A and B are shown apart, each in its own frame.
Chain A
Amino acid sequence: MRWYYVFLKSIREQIRDYWILVLTLTLAPFFVFMYYLMVETDSREFNIVLVNQDDGTFFIDQPVNLGDSLIYYMQLASRDEQASMLNFNEQDGRLAGIELLQQGDADVMVVIPGQMTLKLLNPEYEDTTEIILELVGDVTDMQYIIAAVWSEELINQFIRETSGISMPIGWKETTLGYSGQRTEFELYVPGIMILAVIMMIFSASAAVVREPEARTLERLKISNLSALEFLTGISLIQVIIAILSLLLTIMVAVAMGYTLLPGTFWFILLVAFLTSLSMIAFSLIVAAICRSIKDVAIIGTFPLFILMFFTGAAFPISGGKLFSMAGTTFHINDILSPTWAVDALNKVLIKGQEIDNTLPDMAAILVLTIVYFIIGVWAFKRRHMRAA
């Protein structure tokens, strides 16, 4: 039962040293809120500049300008809900359009060539070269790429409708799992749930380092307390902190519009619990490097960033390939247990897979936890227990 008294002591210390506790509990919920602000409140719009250089022609004694018709068609399409994010802006000349692109007020410019109507309506026209519509913009910009694809699609539709040509093939999109029902914000939430657990690396490392820093480890060492009891007592409170942080994260996410799928709550808790054990083991490695809580705040930032940004917790990421074995490809970031945790959550919460399919992920987390523990205990003993 000595572990229980270490646990009670740690609770008191955590509550009384509340800054680290508050930081650990609130950072992931804060991230959820930030992502919501970044992704959901920013309504995505694409500004398309249209420059009509089409001269038009007379067709059955009537003046016709298909460039004007195309512009009208595109503007009409933008009233449709599917293309409502498109804003069209007609400019008189190419230079005016480029100026808008350079100022960031437009994402793409579509230049309709001078003889488009003539060539389309008069098949016997002497110039038989194809009609070239020009797309202008910053090709490295994702906004340009999406706006360009939309522009091409609308122009193709216009051509098909005005010429009466029907496409021999059609497209049908089937969404994988719940990906079609999820908003962009919701796609980030599983990763941030694991981020809530990763954040405990600060409080766990600080809880462990606090003892050698104050030399109280020396008192504990000469008592009947064993290393296992000490670590159990300290770890238990850290697991509780991680779960509390996770629950807060889920609450904030749900409040921001995240849909928690029925039957997945306990699965999320299980993954978080396993990951928290792993992070406690990882914290031992951090604690072995640090001599004081100040060191944890400085040195601990480095592994925290690695875990945040290279596991898919903060941003979706795929690490460089290491090797393949039994049909499974292993990546560099697979040595970080949160990578597997994020993968497990994404499988069930986004891709709609059965929980059984996450067993390899769970096994990987457990194996890595054991590896971290072995390294952590060895390093901690070497650094702090010998000196005590």
Chain B
Amino acid sequence: MNQQQNYQEIALEIKDLVRYYGDLLAVDNLTLQVKKGEVFGFLGPNGAGKTTSIRMMCGLLKPTSGDVLINGERISSSGIRNHRTRVGICPQEIILWNKLTCYEQLVFMGRMYDIPGKTARDRADQLLDRIGLREKRNKLVSTLSGGMKRRLNVIMAIIHDPEIVVFDEPEAGLDPQSRIMVREFIQQTSGKMTVIFTTHNMDEADRISDRVAIIDRGKLLRLDTPENLKKSIGKGDILELGIQVTGDIPLGIAEDKLKEDGFSLMKTENKWIIKAMDLVPQIPRIYKILESEGIQVSDMNMRENTLEDVFIHLTGRRLRQ
């Protein structure tokens, strides 16, 4: 991806950010830095505090405590008004004017950011071209398909050419064609702009992020490049086994045996995830251990390490649980 790029400057910095909703702690002492021009992914399950965090970054939500700095300037002290043209946000929900055409709302939003008329019009056409909506230029938004609306939602965030653009779950609800378009669009956008996005899709985070912050229950668990994150839990293959247990069989004995034989074992509800180097020749041995303890395997899947494994390693839960 863009890992070769040298990120020297900090575009956005978060210091000890805390947000409570009543008694519920949504964001817990979040501290991180986003470098200029990088694609920064927020990975976490639903309710992890991703959207709350980015809403505070954009000044849409006031933190309970802590600071957000854009280009080294605290937005809480200067107010978001001074940073409005610097930040663009693509919300998770489709937020569009149904009674305006695609072109009209892009130009309208451009004018709201004080972009000169001709620039706004030219930029609207360019963006519609880039996202594959040229033919729908003069169609009312209410006549577009869901995927088209989502694509338009994405380009609305950058009509004013911001320094930082925040995408909240940009691929959520997209059809495969639109997903590819949006992914390419974000990749093309990075470098020129700093891209921050939230996702609970490990594949999305892995493919397009320069760095990923894994958060859960409002807390930052790990922050690094996708490669480093995957390395952090060890190299090797992953074997996912669906486990069926008949009767009152203690699983602990099988667990102990697998660990004694040098396998790394993680468990989620009815799945055992076994990790080891060069795993294929060892599968019969694993089956033998399980069968000897009366445990049946209902399904089996073998793959490489993913960010989901990192999340499971850190939390003991799957991202979509």
* A residues less than 8 Å from B113 (CB atoms): 223-224
Say yes or no: B60 contacts A388, CB within 8 Å: yes
State the CA gap A216–B97 with chains docked (Å).
Answer: 7
Q: Is B236 an interface residue (CB 8 A)?
A: no
Chain A interface residue bracket vs B: 20 to 34
State the CA gap A215–B55 with chains docked (Å).
Answer: 14
* B residues less than 8 Å from A221 (CB atoms): 60
Q: Across the interface, name the chain A residue whose C-beta is closest to B91.
A: A218
B contact patch SS: loop
Say yes or no: B108 contacts A5, CB within 8 Å: yes
Q: Across the interface, name the chain A residue whose C-beta is closest to B111.
A: A5
Q: Is B114 an interface residue (CB 8 A)?
A: yes
State the CA gap A214–B112 with chains docked (Å).
Answer: 18
Say yes or no: B84 contacts A9, CB within 8 Å: no
Q: Is B109 an interface residue (CB 8 A)?
A: yes
Interface hits, B75-124 → A, CB 8 Å = 80-81, 84-85, 87, 89, 91, 93, 95-100, 104, 108-109, 111-114
Q: Is B59 an interface residue (CB 8 A)?
A: yes
Q: Is A182 an interface residue (CB 8 A)?
A: no
* B residues less than 8 Å from A388 (CB atoms): 60
Say yes or no: A9 contacts B114, CB within 8 Å: no
Say yes or no: B84 contacts A224, CB within 8 Å: yes
Q: Contact flags (1/0) for A115-143 with B, using CB distance below 8 Å?
A: 00000000000000000000000000000
Say yes or no: B114 contacts A216, CB within 8 Å: no
Say yes or no: A222 contacts B97, CB within 8 Å: no
Q: Across the interface, name the chain B residue whose C-beta is closest to A217.
A: B95
Q: Which of B59, B60, B85, B111 has the most CB of A within 10 A?
A: B111
Q: Across the interface, name the chain A residue whose C-beta is closest to B62.
A: A386
From A5, A216, A220, A222, B87 is in contact (CB under 8 Å) with: A222
Pick the 9 closest A-B CB pairs, nearest first. A223-B112, A16-B99, A5-B111, A13-B99, A215-B95, A225-B112, A9-B108, A223-B113, A224-B84
* CB pairs A–B below 8 angstroms (29 shown): A2-B111, A5-B112, A9-B104, A9-B108, A12-B99, A12-B100, A13-B97, A13-B99, A214-B95, A214-B98, A215-B93, A215-B95, A216-B96, A216-B97, A218-B91, A218-B95, A219-B95, A219-B112, A222-B58, A222-B59, A222-B80, A222-B84, A222-B87, A222-B89, A223-B113, A223-B160, A224-B112, A225-B112, A388-B60
Listed in ascending order, the chain B residues whose CB lies under 8 Å from chain A are 58-60, 80-81, 84-85, 87, 89, 91, 93, 95-100, 104, 108-109, 111-114, 140, 156, 160
